[in-house]
Amino acid sequence: MASSFLVFFKINGRHGAHTHLSCDNILLMEKKFVLDYFGGISKTARALGIKPPTVFNWTDPIPFSAIGRIVMVCPKAYNVWKRRKDKEKREGSSA
């Protein structure tokens, strides 16, 4: 049975869309990748509509709530991460 959870948050003071994300198909994201993708803590926070201390205090891998926010606000970032992990998996299995 796939476990799932509801992601709901505010973006720029407005309620964002909510969605169900399945834990079975979500890839954990490394904090370094997210910060590099957006250009640092402040730019990541601005892009995701959260405060910089929240980003600074993320663990590695980043929390599911942060991944859900990235999927909703900037799906391209998650897709880049997913393609990168898929490529690593293919290269690892062919070695």
Please tell me the pTM assigned to this model: 0.71
How many angstroms separate the most distant Cα atoms in the chain? 49
Residue 21 near residue 68 (C-beta atoms within 8 A): yes
Residue 19 near residue 72 (C-beta atoms within 8 A): yes
Average pLDDT of the residues in 67-93: 89
Return the percentage of the chain with pLDDT > 70, whole number: 71
First-residue to last-residue Cα distance in the chain: 32
Average pLDDT of the residues in 15-33: 66
Return the percentage of the chain with pLDDT > 90, whole number: 53
Output b/e per residue, 43-65; b: 16+ Cβ within 10 A: ebbebbebeeeebeebeeebeeb
Which residues on adjacent β-strands are paired with residue 19?
7
